[in-house]
Structure 1
Amino acid sequence: MKSDQGFTPFDRNGNRTYLTIEERRAFLLAAHSADPYVMTFCMVLAYTGARISEVRNLTLESIDFSLQCIIIKCLKKRNRVVYRAVPVPTDVLLTLDSVHDLRNDYSKKRRKLWTWSRTTAWNKVSKVMAKAGLSGISATSRGLRHTFAVSAVQCGISLNMIQKWMGHADIETTALYANAVGEEEQRIAKKMWSYL
């Protein structure tokens, strides 16, 4: 699984590569008891489906209160500069504002919200995953990205909207997330089981 194009619901050992909705909730709950900067970092990862490096690069001006979204600079576009806007719940924006003093410190709008290295950010996310009782390939920032896309598919959000939010160049990449086992697949299987 070197890139999103290689997404499969399970790795070669049969381990799930994304979190379930309940596991995502446990991660967010564990994040709420962490340091406020760690909490907001984890929230943005979970609510945007952004890559860990994309979240590390967010600045004050990346947060758009009027559109109620986070503007993310895509990092996998080679020489092109591409931004995507991902809508987030109001509570996420208010929490970001409270912790990072977004609206009162707008004179420094290009200031990064987190100044950690990629390794430090990864370690902080790993600690929150462990605190939530989660481990394995799905308990990573990449797992959170996959979780975002799988959850969006399972909620019936159109693939072209998910493609936009994820920053995928091709809809085929986004369509791979429809292969994950979800509630709809369980409902279909239950209909079949009733005939056995």
Structure 2
Amino acid sequence: MGLEGLLFHHAGNRKYLNASERQRFYNAALGVDDSLRKAFLLTLYYTGARVSEALALEWTNLDADEGVIVIRTLKQRASIRSRAVPVPIELIECIRTTDRQERRIWGFCRTTGWKLVKKCMSAASIEGVKACPKGLRHGFAVACINAKVPVSTIKKWLGHTRLESTTVYLDLIGEDERDLARRLWKNGN
């Protein structure tokens, strides 16, 4: 699949969460009773990490002094690369409240992580092709674009090696595209 297939389903449906859907996902994640599962969902929300990358996190990957979570980029198997993604200190504190003694923070497998995201999407009334971990990751990238985070920084946070992999997120539709147009109109252009 080419890069053009990342944001839109072949039927033209959006494959990423927009701002409203991200907010609903966040609210649903906050409502999860189990602190370990809540922290996992919020980690994905705030970092744009892949499920497997989040599951590989160890306690040493939390850096409260710098306010970052250091994520090992697992998709690039040929080289070991890590990226530091800034997160609210409240997230690091939330993760620490899980109080697990194992080396890795989360005590479940990739399938369970995927199901947790799907369940949270359902609780947030998010349906369709975008209601999955990849939709959340892509939504993170789009949120970064909308917040005017430089593309080079988004590239680093997502763990991309090629800028082309990141610039695909500039191709927005719907409300996200209208928000960009409103900024243009606001400046009288």
TM-score of the pair, normalised by structure 2? 0.89
**Partner of 2:80: helix, strand, or coil?**
coil
Change (3 A) 1:96 1:17: same
Counterpart of 2:8, as a letter, is: F
Q: Which runs of 5+ in 2 are unaligned?
A: none
Q: In structure 2, what is the equivalent of residue 162 of structure 1? A: 154
Give per-residue Cα distances to partners, 1:56-115, cap 9 Å, x unaligned: 1101011111110000000111221100000001211121122236xxx6xx6xx11112
Inter-partner Cα distance in structure 1 for 2:151 and 2:163? 7
Give per-residue Cα distances to partners, 1:142-168, cap 9 Å, x unaligned: 011101111111111111111100110
**Seq. identity, %:** 35
**Partner of 1:130: helix, strand, or coil?**
helix
Residue 148 (str. 1) matches residue 147 (str. 2): no
**Partner of 2:98: helix, strand, or coil?**
helix
Residue 121 (str. 1) matches residue 108 (str. 2): no
Q: How many residues align?
A: 182
Poorly superposed stretches of 4+, deviation over 4 Å: none
Change (3 A) 1:160 1:67: same
Q: In structure 2, what is the equivalent of residue 171 of structure 1? A: 163
Q: In structure 2, what is the equivalent of residue 24 of structure 1? A: 22
**Partner of 2:15: helix, strand, or coil?**
coil
Q: In structure 1, what is the equivalent of residue 11 of structure 2? A: 13
**Partner of 1:129: helix, strand, or coil?**
helix
Counterpart of 1:185, as a letter, is: A
Inter-partner Cα distance in structure 2 for 1:54 and 1:75? 6
Counterpart of 2:106, as a letter, is: W
CA contact (8 A) 1:7 1:176 kept: no
Counterpart of 2:76, as a letter, is: K
C-alpha root-mean-square deviation of aligned residues, in Å?
2.0
Q: Which runs of 5+ in 1 are unaligned?
A: 192-196
TM-score of the pair, normalised by structure 1? 0.86
CA radius of gyration, larger in:
1
